């Protein structure tokens, strides 16, 4: 058992190290350079020591310079590996805390005045509602997925389902 725990600790350290230092890797060639001087137009340069320039009017009129206006710059709010790892940790930590608060603790409070079935349904449904709101805060507002229509449709659907199940839990005997 001790070997398994040590293995998990080393695995966690290795993964955490990889997530943190994955963002620090930078490439040396960030900006592509485009030769617009026209010195080597229409020629495949094989020998770099010698250049042969042939003037051909057909080749000079057909060559197009690539349009670099369509290249997008990187936004500041790019989802990196470190940010993704932090959002996942916040999500799991919050869900664990809400599970303890709503399912483990609140069940005992509900069970004093209500039946076992209704107490279980109410505690799990309150956990579900608060978890959906927590996931919306972390992923919608912090991770900036609020502009994603699929994320918003999923969150609204889960919230409506949680409200319906809470109403069923309140009305059950």
Task: Evaluate whether residue 37 is within a structural domain.
Answer: no
| pLDDT (tens digit per residue) in 81-102 | 898 999 999 999 999 999 999 8
| pLDDT (tens digit per residue) in 43-88 | 555 556 655 666 655 555 556 676 666 666 656 667 788 989 999 9
The alpha-helical segments, DSSP class H, found in 32-115 are 57-62, 81-98, 106-113
Task: Evaluate whether residue 22 is within a structural domain.
Answer: no
Task: Evaluate whether residue 106 is within a structural domain.
Answer: yes
Residue reference for tokens 């069923």 = 168
Task: Evaluate whether residue 25 is within a structural domain.
Answer: no
**pTM greater than 0.85 (yes/no):** no
Task: Evaluate whether residue 107 is within a structural domain.
Answer: yes
Q: How does DSSP assign 127-163, residue by residue?
A: HHHHHHHHHIIIIIIIS--TT-HHHHHHHHHHHHHHH
Nearest to 123 by CA among 105, 141, 135: 105
| Rounded Cα–Cα distance for residues 155 and 45 (Å) | 57
| pLDDT (tens digit per residue) in 101-148 | 988 888 888 888 888 888 888 889 989 999 999 999 999 998 888 888
* Region for 144 from its dihedrals, namely left if φ exceeds 0, alpha if ψ lies in -120 to 50, beta otherwise: left
Task: Evaluate whether residue 99 is within a structural domain.
Answer: yes
For residue 86, give its domain range.
81-171
Task: Evaluate whether residue 72 is within a structural domain.
Answer: no
CB neighbours (10 Å) of residue 54?
8
Position 150 scores a pLDDT of 92
| Rounded Cα–Cα distance for residues 90 and 84 (Å) | 10
Q: How many domains does the chain have?
A: 1
Task: Evaluate whether residue 103 is within a structural domain.
Answer: yes
């Amino acid at each position: 058992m001790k070997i398994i725990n040590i293995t998990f600790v080393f695995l966690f350290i290795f993964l955490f190290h990889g997530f943190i230092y994955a963002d620090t890797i930078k490439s040396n060639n960030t900006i592509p350079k485009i030769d617009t001087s026209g010195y080597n137009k229409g020629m495949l340069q094989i020998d770099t020591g010698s250049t042969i320039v042939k003037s051909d009017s057909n080749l000079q009129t057909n060559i197009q310079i690539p349009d670099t206006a369509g290249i997008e710059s990187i936004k500041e709010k790019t989802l990196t590996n470190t940010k993704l790892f932090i959002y996942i940790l916040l999500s799991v930590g919050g869900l664990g805390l809400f599970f303890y608060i709503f399912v483990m603790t609140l069940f005992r409070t509900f069970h004093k005045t209500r039946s076992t079935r209704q107490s279980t349904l109410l505690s799990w449904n309150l956990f579900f509602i608060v978890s959906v709101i927590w996931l919306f805060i972390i992923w919608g507002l912090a991770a900036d997925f609020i502009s994603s229509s699929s994320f918003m449709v999923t969150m609204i659907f889960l919230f409506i389902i949680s409200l319906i199940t809470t109403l069923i839990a309140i009305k059950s005997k």
